[in-house]
Amino acid sequence: MRIIRTWFVLMLLVVSSFIPPFSFSKAAKAENCASYTGNEKVLWDGMELKPGQIGRLTVVKKTSLVKFNGSTPIAVRTLYPGSFYRIYAFKPGYLGVGGGYYVKRDEKVKYETPSKAKLAMVACIQQAKRTNAAVSMNRLAIGDPRSKVEAIYGKAKRKTRNDYGLYWEAYDRGNYKDFIMISYQNDRIAAMYTNQPIVSTKTGVALGTPKQEVRSKYGTPLAYIQKGNVQYMIKNEEYDMYLIDGNYITFFLTFRTLSTKIGRIFSFRCRMNP
C-alpha cells in the first residue's frame, strides 16, 4: 500500500485589538454606508472617535481612576486636571474608560458626547471592516458584540486567562459541536479560536485546505516581523505567517501519514495580531 506524507493546516486562532460596545446597526441606518471602505477615521475636535466610544471625559479637578472589586470601587491611580479620556461604558455613577477602569461622574469631571452623525460614520466604518473581514467563524468576526455571540451559542461554558491579558470564554452547542473560544475587549470580540469546520475566509481557505493551496492563495510567507529596530525571525516548517490587511495571520501546520484510500485530513489555525 502506497504511503503519502502531506502537510495540513491545524486549527485557527484570530487575534486583533478592538474597542468597546456601541449599537452599530442602529447608527449605520442613519448613514449611507456604501462609500466606506473600513479604513477611514472620524475626528471629533481633532481627536479620533474610536469604535465603541460613546463620549469623552475631561478631568476638571483631581480625581481617581478606579477598578471594581465586586461592587466596591478601588482607586488605582490619580487623574489630574486637563487630562482627557475616551468613554466606552457606564456603571451607576461612573464612566467607563475601557479595560475595566472607571471614573466617578461628579463635579470633578466634564462629560461630553459626540454628534449622532459622527457616531453613524464610525458605525459605517466598522460595518465595512466586518464585511471585509479576512476570517470569520460561524458568522462571527473580530469586532462583533458579545450579544451576537450569545445569540448563537448562549452563555460561555468556561473562562480562562490567555497570553494577551484577556480571558478566553469557551462556547459550543453540546459535545463540543461548533466549539469556539473568544476573548472580549469591552464586550466586543478581540480574539477567536476554533478547531472546528466553522471557518470562512475571503480567499476560500478553510478547514480542509492543504498547505500548497494556502501558499497559492497568500503567496510566500513572511520570514520575520519587524518591531522597531528588532527583527523577530519566524520562519518555521510548522507554520506560515502573512501580513494581510495590516494584521499578521499565521497558519499553523501539521502532517499525517495516510493511506491513499483514506484521503486527506485537514484542520486550520490562524493568528492575527494588530
pLDDT in tens, 193-208: 888 888 888 788 877 6
pLDDT at 119 exceeding the cut of 60: yes
Those residues with Cβ within 8 angstroms of residue 132's Cβ, 6 or more apart along the chain or in another chain: 37, 38, 202, 245
Average pLDDT over residues 166-195: 87
Identify whether the C-beta of residue 67 lies closer than 8 Å to the C-beta of residue 46. no
pLDDT at 44 exceeding the cut of 90: yes
pLDDT per position as a tens digit, 219-246: 888 888 776 777 777 767 777 777 776 5
Question: What confidence tier does 24 reach under pLDDT thresholds 50, 70, 90?
Answer: very low
pLDDT at 32 exceeding the cut of 90: no
Q: What kind and span of H or E run contains 249?
A: strand 247-259
Cα-Cα-Cα-Cα dihedral sign, residues 77, 81, 84, 86 = positive
Average pLDDT over residues 184-198: 83
User: Which of the two residues, 66 and 258, has the higher pLDDT score?
Assistant: 66
pLDDT value at residue 10: 52
Assign 269 to helix, strand or coil: coil
pLDDT value at residue 141: 81
Those residues with Cβ within 8 angstroms of residue 263's Cβ, 6 or more apart along the chain or in another chain: none
| Residue whose C-alpha is closest to residue 60's, from 94, 102, 110 | 110
pLDDT value at residue 9: 56
> What is the average pLDDT score of the chain?
77
Distance CA 86, CA 186 (A): 13
The percent of residues above 90 in pLDDT, for the chain, comes to: 30
Dig out the grid coordinates for 63 from the structure: 480625581
pLDDT value at residue 12: 58
The percent of residues above 70 in pLDDT, for the chain, comes to: 70
Distance CA 206, CA 202 (A): 10
pLDDT per position as a tens digit, 142-167: 778 888 899 899 999 999 986 656 78
Burial bucket for residue 213 (CB in 10 Å: 0-12, 13-18, 19+):
middle
Distance CA 243, CA 272 (A): 9
pLDDT value at residue 11: 57
Question: What confidence tier does 28 reach under pLDDT thresholds 50, 70, 90?
Answer: very low
Q: What kind and span of H or E run contains 153?
A: helix 146-153
Those residues with Cβ within 8 angstroms of residue 25's Cβ, 6 or more apart along the chain or in another chain: 123
pLDDT at 175 exceeding the cut of 50: yes
Distance CA 64, CA 127 (A): 35
**What is the Cβ-side half-sphere exposure of residue 257, based on CA atoms within 13 angstroms?**
3
pLDDT per position as a tens digit, 122-147: 888 877 766 667 778 888 887 788 88
Dig out the grid coordinates for 169 from the structure: 470564554
Q: What kind and span of H or E run contains 25?
A: helix 24-29
